[in-house]
Structure 1
Amino acid sequence: MSFLEGMSQEVKEKWKFENVMPIQEQMIPEMLAGRDVVAESPTGSGKTLAYVLPLLELTDGTKQQTQALIITPSQELSMQIVNVIREWTEGTPVTVTQLIGGANMQRQIEKLKKKPTIVVGTPGRLAELIKNKKLKMGDIRHIILDEGDQLLSRDHRVGVKNMIEAAHESRQVAVVSATITEDIEDVALRFMNNPLRLKVTAAEMPSSGKIVHSYVKTEIRDKTDVLRGLSHIQGLRALAFINNVDQLRMKEMKLQYEGAPVAVLYSDMNKFERQETLDKFRKGEIRILIATDLAARGLDIDGLTHVIHVNVPHTVEQYVHRSGRTGRAGADGEVLTLLSYPEERDYRKLAKGYKPVQKVWHGGKLIEGNSKTVSGQKTAPAKKKK
């Protein structure tokens, strides 16, 4: 924990963790030294604190000036980061404000007039506030792109680049994500100053927990029934991923009609609807929360026992991002894929490094069936409930 030695007394007193995560060990000293950083580390590996703690040291809360900007692709992630910063800045002069779509812009403008030290926001709302000259980028010396792969994708790339180039000329930029492709790295290099590339793999993560990767063979038409059955397992708390919104709506109608303790999360739900759904999930009134990648981006939910791939993801990056939601902070977890015959080839490619085990859904339970990894051999189909 050598990096803690040079930090403020407030940070030292609030540090209660037994272990330092590898990305924190690597990234914090480099950010404190003023370096630009491109950091890749698994979901749930402590990336937020790896940039928040240096920001608290690099900014001055006694100055009436907004000095740092954290850009995120989703409202939830913005809110989570703001909560983390508030926890660590309690009792200090450092202030933080969130600037997200779906919230009252006039209130945000009023808060900006007070010159918060750090602002956290989504690209659309930030662009509006900059255009209206309410957020003055010239003062900002530190910019973080959280979930950088999303922010530097074609959808947001130009807008984010414009924000960075409008910031102070001696700005520091950090890009963090669980997956950073060569393309994303190339884009980042265009507006960063000789960035240091950091990469932490899942194998380097300290973990006392065990993550099981498993699959249940099922017909496409039976996936909703399997989900409904899983939702009645005591103690299960799962985030289930579906590849597109149309399928999400169909599953929602059928599951709600059958009264299953399941809810869905859409990207176009307003802030209050999303918060109400998440509160019910955290309280255990809902056992399975179904979402697309877009709707679930940035969600950090403690105690998830399962991640369920209702559809096999399109890419390795999707599989990694989704799967990393369970088994956080050394807890056990399971990544379960509902696998139809047409999806088998894609699944073999995505999961080959994880040695997934086959399970069978039978009698209201997940039972380990053929424990061989998926390698093309024929296996017995899952038994249907009568």
Structure 2
Amino acid sequence: MARSFSNLFFKAAKKISKLQRTALRMASPKPARKRATTPRKSATKTATKTASSAAATRQPATPSLGNGRWEGTRQFSDGKGRQLTFARYTPAGATPGRMPVVVMLHGCRQTALAFARGTRMNQWADAGGFMVLYPQQSMTRQVQRCWRWFQPDDAHGGAEADLIAALIESEVARHGLDAERVYVAGLSAGAGMAALVALRHPSLIAAVAMHSGPVVGDAHSAAAGISTMRRGSLKPLPSLVRDVADPAAFELGMPALILHGQLDPAVAPRNAKQLFEQFRALNHPRPEDMPIERVLGLGSEKAYRRVDLTRGRKTVLRLCEITRLEHAWSGGDPSVKYHARNGPDASALVWRFFQGLRRVGAGEPGAGA
């Protein structure tokens, strides 16, 4: 047994010695030829990377950002120490003059850039000749970049709405935009903020579009906001609007477009119906103003039910209930989160609704829609 053990020991020692020699060879400096080729490969790789970066810098904006001028991560200050990051898109072929402007408010966990790419609103700006502004919520205000529609008081959501309004006024003055054709639209939390901006500044905003948004004025805390999203409101709807709106909103009215997916698991579709009732009351309904219902795209992935409330030949309120859509921008770029291929092109619906509306005498006492 001792002899057997000795044999095993020497065999093991021999094997260990062989492994050590192999390890030493691997640790030894490589031949000069190999050392000389390594820097050349590294230099080639670095040069290729540098050339690629330079080429990327020279390339124009991606097609999803349109053919015009994209200016990202700009900064606005209202003179009171409050700052807001935003992006600006000027359409291709724009000429100095009174262009309309559409303000786009992203949802939670989104950025201005992602919202621009996902909605493709810039392409409609190229076609329609309007400027687009994309305010972006700060993560220092809300860690998930949610606009604080669920805290509509003057210190939180109301302050954010006022800051966005100040940005709009500054851009209108700076670029000579058409003050009578200023519109605001948003998705989810952005829809909630779009409603606050429109209701707090009715003489500035000609019309509002709310996609997958919550009922107005129901929530006053983050926890209450989640409850509102899940079930809508159990409170009297007109009084909720009065609590958050400038009194002038009831005199001027506020044309509104409401879009909502019927499969939305995040914001219950009941919210859309309640928003319709809130803005119906705000736009002074008359007995003869009966809603007109239509179903479009029946049997296709773009199917939706449309309910219009008209005043003369003008649609002042529209509800689009999109059959096969969840919590996402309808007809957007599905490669961008919170945007879906299903449903009609929401950006097209938004712009077409806005086109026929203006705030006559915007910024002046007695302005009207």
TM bucket normalised to smaller: under 0.3
Between the two structures, name the one with larger relative contact order (CA 8 Å, sep ≥ 6): 1
TM-score, structure 1 normalization: 0.24
The structure having more radius of gyration, on CA atoms, is 2
